[in-house]
Amino acid sequence: MSNPPTRLARRLGTGDAIVIGLGSMIGASVFAAIGPAAAAAGSGLMIGLAVAGVVAFCNATSSAQLAALYPASGGTYVYGRKRLGHLAGFCAGWGFVVGKSATLSVSALAFGAYAFPEYPRPAGIAAVVVVTAINLRGITRTAAATRVTVTLVLIALGLVVAAAVGGGTTDADNLADWGEGGAGGILEAAGLLFFAFAGYARIATLGEEIKDPARTIPRAIPVALGITLVVYAAVSATALWAVGPEVLANAAAPLAAATDAGAWNGLTPVVRAGAAIASAGALMALIAGVGRTTFAMASEGDLPRSLDKVHPTFKVPHYAEVAVAAVVIVLVALTDLHNVLGFSSFCVLFYYAMTNAAAWTLSAAQRRWPRGLSGLGFIGCVTLAVTLPGASVIVGLLVLAAGILIWRIRRAWPQSAAAE
């Protein structure tokens, strides 16, 4: 099958796509999300992790089918426009750009919390600047750097598991401390942990830079998601076993706290370094993904046309990536990690609800997986979104409403209509 035409350059193979997906998922998420999830559900976060994994799998199948059909930058922004209409596509893209910008601030703050706990915000801002500079050198530089960070992060997480199991502080009762959240707490934890799985969308949003996307993307997404689920389950279970949910919930750096509690606490600096590398890797992959969606929306006139520029040498949407980085720097300077996490999860769940809705409309000839998975994914996304903390839901709805208002105003302007 020939590659569809693109303004960018198709330089990524299957291995590169898997690595970028892993870099987005096995990043700051596992180091940051486990604490709020433990606060919501206690040891029940393991059930929440399973629920999040099922919903993520449904979403992944929907994303893979659509990405194979529409291998363009923008992900569900493109799919929504093609399958559900212009407004639906805009809402998906708006939710993604806003929500993932918040996610990027979480990654930057997590970097600061683990690497330079005394100066988390300046450190997070510096990390954003550095990874953006790397991304601007081209997508192959992003993939190569992400391959290194994923390897180092997996080593660090392996040390967390080793310290928890071999440190002599494990207690089976820690796995039975489900707190007082009940079923609602488990669903809230699932919504927060879903934030950790959402990185496979980066593979789809890079559709214009992947070789043979109709074959590569459906292969890469399930593999990246499966590896991530296994890693997260192992790390979460051993961290709970070592220190219990209360310690994880109250720690600024939960996995460092789990390592520090045992006899192998000499590994704690290594775990902190791994978390910092993970956060930087997630920043790199996510800025690339959000930049591509911003670029796609600007190309269609749904965001300022000035962001629709491709660097003549490195073939990256450099204006869009710099704009995303600037927004993230502001968020890092002004926001709190735990508050942003819930809002980000809401926006990302909305984005994937739209993905599943778009996949539901595919014909039998266009499908690679059963239609029921798209329906289950949609129901799962909506359920997890409404069980997030109330403030996150309210802010998320207000942001979406603001986006729709902006879209309608832009459509009403004669010059905007002419541009489209």
Q: Render the burial of 37-67: b for 16+ CB within 10 Å, e for the rest.
A: bbbbbbbbbbbbbebbbbbbbbbbbbbbbbb
Q: How would residue 381 be classed by pLDDT, with cut points 50, 70 and 90?
A: very high
- The residue-averaged pLDDT of 258-273 equals 80
- The residue-averaged pLDDT of 70-76 equals 78
Query: Which of 396 and 12 is assigned the larger pLDDT?
Result: 396
HEC string of 247-277 equals: HHHHCCCHHHHHHHCCCCHHHHHHHHHHHHH
Query: How far apart are the two ends of the chain, measured CA to CA in Å?
Result: 31
Confidence check: pLDDT of 37 > 80: yes
Closest Cα to residue 26, out of 34, 15, 36? 34
The reported pLDDT for the residue numbered 139 is 62
H-run or E-run covering 331: helix 318-334
The reported pLDDT for the residue numbered 173 is 76
Query: Which of 186 and 338 is assigned the larger pLDDT?
Result: 186
Location of structure tokens 């266009």: 366
- pTM recorded for the entire structure: 0.79
Q: How would residue 419 be classed by pLDDT, with cut points 50, 70 and 90?
A: very low
Confidence check: pLDDT of 7 > 90: no
Torsion angle of alpha carbons 59, 65, 70, 71, nearest 10°?
90
Question: Concatenated DSSP letters for 107-130?
Answer: HHHHHHHHH-TTSHHHHHHHHHHH
The share of the chain scoring above pLDDT 90, in percent, equals 28
For the stretch 188-214, pLDDT in tens is 999 888 877 776 666 766 666 778 777
For the stretch 286-334, pLDDT in tens is 788 788 889 889 988 898 888 988 888 877 888 999 999 999 999 999 8
Residue 354, burial from CB neighbour count under 10 angstroms (0-12, 13-18, 19+)? buried
Question: Concatenated DSSP letters for 382-407?
Answer: HHHHHTS-HHHHHHHHHHHHHHHHHH
Taken as a whole, the chain contains a residue count of 420
Closest Cα to residue 32, out of 344, 321, 291? 344
Q: How would residue 141 be classed by pLDDT, with cut points 50, 70 and 90?
A: low
What is the spatial distance between Cα 31 and Cα 41, in angstroms, rounded to a whole number?
17
Location of structure tokens 């391959």: 147
Q: How would residue 405 be classed by pLDDT, with cut points 50, 70 and 90?
A: very high
For the stretch 146-179, pLDDT in tens is 788 888 888 888 888 888 777 656 677 777 777 7
Contact 356/374 with Cβ under 8 angstroms? yes
- The residue-averaged pLDDT of 242-252 equals 86
